[in-house]
Amino acid sequence: MSAQHPGYSYRPVGRTAHRVTPPGFRPLCVRTRLGTGEAVFTAASRALLEWRMHRAMGVRVETDADRAAPGVLVTVGLGVGRLRVQGPCRVVWAVEEERRAGWAYGTLPGHPQRGEEAFLVEYAEDGRVWLTVWAYSRPALWWTRAAGPVVRVLQQLYGHRCGQVLRRLVRE
């Protein structure tokens, strides 16, 4: 499940798979109900694993893989023009099971944050389907340290937006 490649900008790697926040990092957990039933789970899983959720959010995703898998390099871009922030990452783990599907990526040098972010779709026993965005991070650059609490608010908003967009994609 985990890819332990060198080059990550943080240690320890892979803790999002266990929803553990290492010391010195700030946690983030945003959970959104996507709907009910197997069809919702299947559609949400596919959209998540194939980068469609991120792209539908307006995130520029540069990767040479059609699907998230351990070791895949990904560069995410947020913003526009000169204000676009690039974040190089590598997929740390991915899972595709009967009742859960998702993946996490870890930051590489040059990313404005250090840490890991996971996106997991779960099909609960009661039939409800959930997206959980689980992350831990800390600033890596002077301007993310200077932005302080603004970054935390933006991360929360991003987590909520993931759920809104994935819910919309599932309904389409």
Residue 56's pLDDT band, with cuts at 50, 70 and 90, is very high
- Cα(34)–Cα(151) distance, rounded to whole angstroms? 26
Residues 79-97 have pLDDT tens digits of: 667 766 788 999 999 999 9
Q: In terms of CATH architecture, what is 26-171?
A: 2-Layer Sandwich (3.30)
Statement: the pTM of the whole predicted model exceeds 0.85: yes
pLDDT at residue 79 in the model: 67
Residue for token pair 């010391």: 23
Beta strands in 97-127 (DSSP E): 100-107, 113-123
Domain boundaries, the chain: 26-171
